[in-house]
Amino acid sequence: MREYDVNEPVPVQDMRMEEAPMRGYDREPEMELKQDYKPKKQEILREYEILIRFLSVGCVVKVGCKEIPFRSVKEAMEELNKYVENPYEVGKKWHELFNSED
């Protein structure tokens, strides 16, 4: 390869960029990331604090910063038990409901 003066432009083919070893962000990832990461049940349940405020009729369940009113305590406990059994799927349902109301 020919030597070039500091001020002289170097043709791209002489730079040998295509032969340089890839480094850092140029490399392909060595392992594929999982597309559908599903956190463990306990991780999801620890994510939000759950409080129940009983009223003269029904109750209000507070999950994180959202409050959900229920007409009966029985209805609230059924929904809460569904959430505890499968927090990922039930949480997705509630997130969709909250986001559709905004």
pTM to 2 decimal places:
0.59
For position 84, what pLDDT does the model report?
94
Contact 28, 17 (CB under 8 A): no
Domain ranges of the chain: 35-101
Q: Is the pLDDT of residue 26 over 80?
A: no
Contact 45, 87 (CB under 8 A): yes
Contact 69, 60 (CB under 8 A): yes
Which has more confidence, 64 or 52?
A: 52
Q: Is the pLDDT of residue 20 over 60?
A: no
